[in-house]
A = this chain, B = another copy of it.
Amino acid sequence: MPRIAYLGPEGTFTEAALLQMVAGDMVPPGGAAGEVVPLPYDSAGGALEAIRTGDTDYACVPIENSIDGSVIPTLDGLADGSALQIYAEHTLDVAFTIVTRAGLAAADIDTVAAFPVAAAQVRKWLAAELPQARIVPAYSNAAAAQDVAGGGADAGVSTALAAQRYGLTVLAADIVDEASARTRFVLVGAPGTPPARTGADRTSVVLRLDNVPGALVSAMTELSIRGIDLTRIESRPTRTELGTYKFFLDWAGHIDDEAVGEALKALHRRCADVRYLGSWPTGAAIGALPPPVDEAARWLQATRTGGSA
């Protein structure tokens, strides 16, 4: 049974994402659906590092949030240290479960435990529904539930999974002030053969570029000229050398798409370093597909051998 580290403690959105990935068809190689060993870690970086030390087979970590942007510790954990590879992704709508202990009604609630980021996302709901309650900070969404279970707070802003884990009562479900917030999680492992191309895939790389004007544009041209649709780009300073950057790029397509293969070879030649972070299915299209090159390849083959094109 594969071990999967995750950003814990038990009951986080990350664990919920992990369980949904396992229950679906995103089972990592080596494990039947549902048969995994989840291992909570207290940081995304720690969960990723556990792959390198052999303490886990996979890690499930958040990578992007529609409100807060990229999860930097995850990006840095993927870019630095020995190579890792992404095999799957799963996106969750951000929506909280307000938990309490059995027997407590809304009117009884004086204190609400909440991770500060979560508190900010349910502020309006709390003001309207629990106006009398005072908010007390918690370390995580799961810790908010633990606080309620331990009697440290009357209610907590937490997750459905945490309510279940800690035997709490659900006061309200699917609570969020702004409904569009979503978090994307990825399943990471040691480098290996990517999942087969599905036609709706994402490829991700980290580039390190020489500090030369135009280096980034040249690298991006290797993609655009091949019709590859970039869906994300983000520069991050490297920690080792002042004024140098690493660039995280995502695009629609799979390493087994011929155009993507050509682009990766070209980036490998051009860049100081290319770290391949994987190709994996997204379920739905995230951008324009790389152009198929079958016809052009046939033409080249015919031309090379004097056949008619």
Contact = CB atoms under 8 A, between A and B. Distances in A.
B243 A287 contact: yes
B300 A268 contact: yes
A218 B139 CA distance: 44
B138 A297 contact: no
A309 B304 CA distance: 30
Contacts of A237: 66
Interface string A210-253: 00011011101111111111111111110100010101000000
B225 A299 contact: no
B261 A193 contact: no
A272 interface: no
B68 A306 contact: no
Contacts of A231: 235, 245
10 tightest A-B CB contacts, nearest first: A137-B137, A192-B306, A214-B224, A265-B296, A69-B72, A217-B224, A193-B306, A268-B296, A217-B220, A234-B234
A304 B255 contact: yes
Contact of A218 (B225, B234, B245, B262): B225
A1 interface: no
27 contacts: A66-B237, A69-B70, A69-B72, A69-B234, A69-B236, A115-B116, A116-B116, A137-B139, A180-B239, A193-B304, A193-B305, A213-B288, A216-B220, A217-B217, A217-B221, A222-B225, A225-B225, A225-B266, A255-B303, A255-B304, A261-B300, A261-B304, A265-B296, A265-B300, A268-B295, A268-B296, A269-B291
B70 A264 contact: no
Contacts of A266: 225-226, 296
Contacts of A102: none
A282 interface: no
A261 B299 CA distance: 10
A2 interface: no
A148 B202 CA distance: 48
